[in-house]
Amino acid sequence: MTKGLKLTDILVTIVIAIAFGIVYILWGSVYYALKPIGLHADQFMYGMWFIAANVAFFIIRKPGVALLAEIAAASGEFLLGSPWGLTVLLYGVVQGLFAELVFMAFKYKRFHISVAILSAIAACLGSVLMDFAYGEIGDLVAWNLTLFMIARFLGSILFAGVCAYYLVKVLEATGVTNLVRPASSKDYAELDQK
Amino acid sequence: MQLDFSSKETWLHRINPSLKLFVLIMLCIIVLLVHNLLFMMNFTVIVLILFLCFTGQPTKRILLLFIPFFVVFLSTSSSLIFFGQGNTTWFKWGLIHITEESFFRGLLVGFRALLFAILGLTFALTTRPVYLFYSLMQQVKLNPKYAYSFMAALRLIPIMLEEFQTIQNAMRVRGVVRQTGIRSVFLKMKAYSIPMLSGSIRRAHRIAVAMEAKRFSDTRNRTYYYEIGFSKYDIVFILYFVTLLLAGYYGAIKGV
Amino acid sequence: MERIAHVEKLRLKFPGDTSLLFKDLSSTFYKGEKVLLLGPSGCGKSTLLQVLSGLIPHSIEVPMKAEELVSPTSWGYVFQDPDSQFCMPFVDEEIAFVLENINVPKQQMIDRIHHHLQQVGLHLPDIHTSIQTLSGGMKQRLAIASILALKPDVLFLDEPTAMLDPKGTKEIWNVLKEVGQEKTVIIVEHKIDHVLEFIERIILFNEAGQIIADGPKEKILSTYKNEMREQGIWFPGVWEEYLDTTPLLRSRKPFEKKEKVLEVQNFKGFRQKEEKILVDDLQAYSGEWIVIKGENGAGKSTLLHAFMQFIKTTGHCELVGIAIKKVKKQTDFMTFVFQNPEFQFVANSVYEEIAYSLKVDKVDSREIEIKVEELLEWFQLVDHWDKHPYQLSMGQKRRLSVAASIVKEQKLILLDEPTFGQDSKNTFALLEWIEELRLKGTTIIMITHDEQIINNFATRIWTIEAGKVISDEIQSMNMKTELVSV
Ligand SMILES: Nc1ncnc2c1ncn2[C@@H]1O[C@H](COP(=O)(O)OP(=O)(O)OP(=O)(O)O)[C@@H](O)[C@H]1O
Ligand SMILES: Nc1ncnc2c1ncn2[C@@H]1O[C@H](COP(=O)(O)OP(=O)(O)OP(=O)(O)O)[C@@H](O)[C@H]1O
Ligand SMILES: [Mg+2]
Ligand SMILES: [Mg+2]
Our CA angle for C406, C409, C413, nearest 5°, is: 60
Question: Where does the pLDDT of residue B179 fall: very low under 50, low under 70, confident under 90, or very high at 90 and above?
Answer: low
Question: Where does the pLDDT of residue A145 fall: very low under 50, low under 70, confident under 90, or very high at 90 and above?
Answer: confident
Average pLDDT over residues B130-148: 92
Q: Cβ separation of C59 and B208 shorter than 8 Å? A: yes
Residue C270 confidence (pLDDT): 94
Residue C249 confidence (pLDDT): 58
Residue type, B8: K
Residue type, A164: A
Q: Is C271 in the pocket of ligand 2 (CB under 6 A)?
A: yes
Question: Where does the pLDDT of residue A89 fall: very low under 50, low under 70, confident under 90, or very high at 90 and above?
Answer: confident
Q: Is C272 in the pocket of ligand 2 (CB under 6 A)?
A: yes
Greatest CA separation found in chain A? 74
Q: Give the per-residue SS3 of chain C.
A: CCEEEEEEEEEECCCCCCCCCEEEEEEEEECCCEEEEECCCCCCHHHHHHHHHCHHHHCCCCCEECCEEECCCCEEEECCCHHHCCCCCEHHHHHHHHHHHCCCCHHHHHHHHHHHHHHCCCCCCCCCCEHHHCCHHHHHHHHHHHHHCCCCCEEEEECCCCCCCHHHHHHHHHHHHHHHCCCEEEEECCCCCCCCCCCCEEEEECCCCCEEEEEEHHHHHHHCHHHHHHHCCCCCCHHHHHHHHCHHHHCCCCCCCCCEEEEEEEEEEEECCEEEEEEEEEEEECCCEEEEEECCCCCHHHHHHHHCCCCEEEEEEEECCEEHHHCCCHHHCEEEECCCHHHHCCCCCHHHHHHHHHHHCCCCHHHHHHHHHHHHHHCCCHHHCCCCHHHCCHHHHHHHHHHHHHCCCCCEEEEECCCCCCCHHHHHHHHHHHHHHHHCCCEEEEECCCHHHHHHHCCEEEEEECCEEEEEEECCCCHHHHHHCC
Q: Enumerate the domain spans of chain B.
A: 11-128+232-254, 144-213
Question: Where does the pLDDT of residue B245 fall: very low under 50, low under 70, confident under 90, or very high at 90 and above?
Answer: confident
Distance CA C284, CA C417 (A): 19
Across A119-133, B69-83, B115-129, C351-365, least confident range: B69-83
Structural domains counted in chain A: 1
Chains interfacing with B (3 or more CB pairs < 8 Å): A, C
Distance CA C429, CA C41 (A): 13
Residue C477 confidence (pLDDT): 57
Q: Cβ separation of B202 and A179 shorter than 8 Å? A: yes
Distance CA B144, CA B188 (A): 37
Instruction: Name the residue facing C88 among B155, B174, B176 (closest C-beta).
Output: B155
Across A180-184, B87-91, B211-215, C179-183, least confident range: B87-91
Query: Nearest residue CA, atom 29 of ligand 2?
Result: C297
Q: Cβ separation of C100 and B172 shorter than 8 Å? A: no
Distance CA A70, CA A120 (A): 12
Does pLDDT of B194 surpass 70?
yes
What's the gap in Å between the CA of C355 and the closest CA on chain B?
10
C13: contact with A, CB 8 A cutoff: yes
Residue C311 confidence (pLDDT): 92
Residue C255 confidence (pLDDT): 58
Does pLDDT of B218 surpass 90?
no
Residue A135 confidence (pLDDT): 62
Give A170's contacts in chain B (Cβ within 8 Å): 194
For residue A2, being part of any structural domain is answered with no
Q: Cβ separation of A179 and B105 shorter than 8 Å? A: no
CATH of the domain at A69: 1.10.1760
Helix B100-126, helix B59-83: angle, nearest 10: 150
Residue A85 confidence (pLDDT): 66
Query: Nearest residue CA, atom 16 of ligand 1?
Result: C44
Q: Which residues of B touch C (CB under 8 A)?
A: 130, 148, 151-152, 154-155, 158-159, 162, 165-167, 169-177, 195, 202-203, 206-217, 221-225, 227
Domain C3-243 matches domain C249-474 at the CATH topology level: yes
Ligand 1 atom at minimum distance from C50 CA = 18
Does pLDDT of B2 surpass 60?
no
Instruction: Name the residue facing B205 among A81, A140, A180 (closest C-beta).
Output: A180
CB within 8 Å of C94: residues ≥ 6 apart:
C86, C87, C88, C131, C142, C146
Q: Cβ separation of B118 and A85 shorter than 8 Å? A: yes
Average pLDDT over residues B219-240: 88
Distance (angstroms) between ligand 4 centre and the Cα of B117 equals: 43
ipTM of the complex: 0.86
Query: What CATH number matches the domain at C3-243, 3.40.50.300, 3.40.50.150, 3.30.565.10, 3.40.50.1820?
Result: 3.40.50.300
| Domain that residue A77 falls in | 7-192
Give B217's contacts in chain C (Cβ within 8 Å): 101
User: Beta C184-188 vs C154-158: how paired, if at all?
Assistant: parallel
Q: Which of C14, C61, C350 to mutate to test binding with chain A, by most A CBs within 10 Å of its CB?
A: C61
Q: Which of residues 38-77 of B touch A (CB under 8 A)?
A: 65, 68-69, 71-72, 75-76
Residue C480 confidence (pLDDT): 43
Q: How many CB atoms lie within 10 A of CB B94?
A: 5
Ligand closest to Cα of C274 equals 2
Q: Cβ separation of B79 and A86 shorter than 8 Å? A: no
Residue B93 three-state SS: strand
Ligand 1: residues within 6 Å at CB? Answer: C 14, 21, 39, 41-47, 80, 384, 387, 391-396, 421
Torsion of CA B132, B137, B140, B142, to 10 degrees: 110
For chain C, 486 residues long, give each residue's pLDDT as a single digit of tens.
788 999 999 999 988 788 889 989 999 999 999 999 999 999 999 999 999 999 988 888 899 999 999 999 889 999 877 777 888 889 999 999 999 999 999 999 999 999 999 988 888 999 999 998 887 778 888 998 999 999 999 999 998 888 788 888 888 888 888 888 889 999 999 888 888 889 999 999 998 899 999 999 999 988 998 888 888 888 888 888 888 887 665 455 555 667 889 999 999 999 888 899 999 999 999 989 999 999 888 999 999 999 999 999 999 999 988 888 888 788 889 999 998 888 888 888 999 999 998 988 888 999 999 999 999 999 999 989 988 898 899 899 999 999 999 998 889 999 999 998 899 999 999 999 999 899 888 999 999 998 889 888 898 999 999 999 999 988 765 544 344 333
Average pLDDT over residues B221-243: 90
Residue B68 confidence (pLDDT): 76
Q: How many CB atoms lie within 10 A of CB B232?
A: 9
C249-474 belongs to which homologous superfamily? P-loop containing nucleotide triphosphate hydrolases (3.40.50.300)
C347: contact with A, CB 8 A cutoff: no
Q: Do residues C459 and C292 touch, judged by C-beta distance below 8 A?
A: no
User: Beta C334-337 vs C412-416: how paired, if at all?
Assistant: parallel
Q: Enumerate the domain spans of chain C.
A: 3-243, 249-474
Q: Do residues B213 and A188 touch, judged by C-beta distance below 8 A?
A: no
pLDDT single digits (tens) B153-176: 988 888 888 888 888 888 888 877
User: Beta B89-93 vs B96-99: how paired, if at all?
Assistant: antiparallel
Helix B144-173, helix A7-34: angle, nearest 10: 60
Chains interfacing with A (3 or more CB pairs < 8 Å): B, C
Does pLDDT of A1 surpass 50?
no
For residue A16, being part of any structural domain is answered with yes
Instruction: Name the residue facing B214 among C98, C103, C360 (closest C-beta).
Output: C98
Q: Is C276 in the pocket of ligand 2 (CB under 6 A)?
A: yes
Torsion of CA B144, B146, B148, B150, to 10 degrees: -150
Chains interfacing with C (3 or more CB pairs < 8 Å): A, B
Global pTM reads 0.86
